[in-house]
Amino acid sequence: MARCRACGLGDMVRSPTGSLVFLADEGDHRAALLVEANEAGAGRWIPVPLTGTELHLAAGEGDRLWVGGTVNQRRGALGDRLSEAYLVKLNTRGQVAWERTFGGNSERTIQGVSSLPSDDVAVVGQDDDKSWLARISADGQIVWEHRFGSGALTSVTTVGGHIFVAGFDRVDDHAVGHSQVNLVLWRFDGRGQPLGRDVIHENVGNGARVWPLWFVRQWASSDDAVYVFALWSEQLAANPLDAVKVTMQGQVVWRRQLPQSVLQARTPPVDRGREAHCIPKITILANGNPLIACSTDKAIVLSELDAATGDVSQASLERNRARTGGSVAQILQKSGEILWLFGQGGTRCGSPGTSRASVGTDVRQRT
């Protein structure tokens, strides 16, 4: 794979020609696009001077891309946290059309982006202690916005012009992290009209101190359903990855947990006994089934969920001994039953690599 100073690959989208576009964070307010990437290692790195952090990528119409994140993080006069939401419109050649910031007197962030018809984009993030959802026009103006939920980590996806937001909402008046919360799916139409609020997991934490360590960063959707994948921790215990299939009307079809998503920490004495999560990556296969990749030090565990029943089948991709650590950055089903897993080793910065695996038990790898 082409080399870059980036320490990891971020979001991935397909270009109009069918090639892959990755977003990579080089640090110090530098980002890069890897365009025309493929399994043979070809690709071009294009530096992009983006000022935001914690960036997320979405594909728009034609060759257009959206990147959202956070900028101007600081402390107010009373010590309160302040930041602005950051959104960039650019193309696959790295040419920036415009940059916009939203907010200024609150802790405003963008935690997810998803494209809409008419070259608009839906963004979701935090606005102090509330979740913030907005539709942004092609020229960077807010068409409409909503505030709801708890302000904890949220994610957004769009299907057929409808907008789905998953996040945590309070059960009582206590701050998230100190009390019970519900995992909730909010549904909106393209005009911003609420279509429903559906609780898909009640009383997360059962009164314990709860922090969502990694939550719904990647959605999976099909023509008739969305899949919500959530992780959270309670004290020293990490909850297994919770996978839920939800209809477009907000009804839960099935729910499954994946114990293989919980790892035992191995760094005493500070983390002795503390469980941690793998960072899962999710895609929808050609057969309609969700596939989850979970990285451990020794292997990458692939879990395929039957779309109709939620039944789980698994395969394991053993790591190259010279490449321990790190995690899968993205999954792509190239053709037939062949998968490509894009990622990077966890020991140092350098060139990302690819692994090749087939769906099922026949697993192969290359770097």
What pLDDT is stored for residue 135 in this prediction? Answer: 97
More confident residue, 363 or 264: 264
pLDDT given at position 294: 82
In this structure, of 25-39, 265-279, 328-342, the range with the lowest mean pLDDT score is 265-279
Three-class SS of residue 7?
coil
- For residue 29 the two structure tokens come to 């307010």
| pLDDT for position 27 | 60
Percentage of the chain lying above the pLDDT 70 cut = 65
Determine the Cα–Cα distance for residues 337 and 275; give it in Å rounded to an integer.
33
- Model pLDDT, residue 2: 45
Ranking 106-115, 210-219, 240-249 by mean pLDDT, the lowest is 210-219
Given this model, what pLDDT does residue 121 score?
Answer: 95
Q: What span, in angstroms and rounded, lies between the C-alpha atoms of 190 and 201?
A: 26
Q: How far apart are CA 246 and CA 230, in angstroms?
A: 13
Q: Which two tokens stand for residue 26?
A: 């080089």
Instruction: Look up residue 206 and give its two tokens.
Output: 């059962």
Tokens 């290359």 map to which residue?
Answer: 366
Residue 284 has pLDDT above 70, yes or no: yes
Q: How confident is the model at residue 231 (pLDDT cuts 50, 70, 90)?
A: confident
Closest CA to 32 of 51, 16, 50, 14: 50
Which residue would you say has higher pLDDT here, 94 or 213? Answer: 94
Q: What angle do CA 92, 71, 125 make, to 5 degrees?
A: 85
Tokens encoding 282: 């999710």
Containing 22, the helix (H) or strand (E) segment is: strand 20-27
State whether the Cα torsion 316-321-324-330 is positive or negative.
negative
The continuous run of DSSP H or E covering 365 comes out as: none
Average pLDDT over all residues of the chain: 75
Judging by beta carbons within 10 Å of its beta carbon (0-12, 13-18, 19+), is residue 91 exposed, middle or buried? Answer: middle
Task: Give the separation between CA 333 and CA 98, rounded to whole angstroms.
Answer: 33
pLDDT of 253 reads 92
Confidence at residue 77, expressed as pLDDT on a 0 to 100 scale: 80
Residue 102 above 90 pLDDT? Answer: yes
Split at pLDDT 50, 70, 90, the class of 346 is very low
Cα–Cα distance between 336 and 346 in angstroms, integer? 30
Fold of 9-282: Methylamine Dehydrogenase; Chain H (2.130.10)
Q: pLDDT of 119-166, one tens digit each?
A: 899 999 999 889 999 999 999 999 999 999 877 778 888 887 889 998
Q: What is the pLDDT of residue 155?
A: 85
Query: How far, in Å, CA of 75 to CA of 72, rounded?
Result: 10
Q: List all residues 6 or more positions away from 161 whose beta carbon is below 8 Å from its beta carbon.
A: 116, 117, 189, 190
How far is the C-alpha of 19 from the C-alpha of 17, rounded, in Å? Answer: 6
Q: Which residue has the higher pLDDT, 169 or 188?
A: 188
Residue ranges per structural domain of the chain: 9-282, 283-367
* Exposure b/e, 29-40, CB count within 10 A at least 16 = b: eebbbbbebebe
Residue 318 has a pLDDT of 74
Report the percentage of the chain scoring pLDDT > 90.
22
pTM over 0.85: no
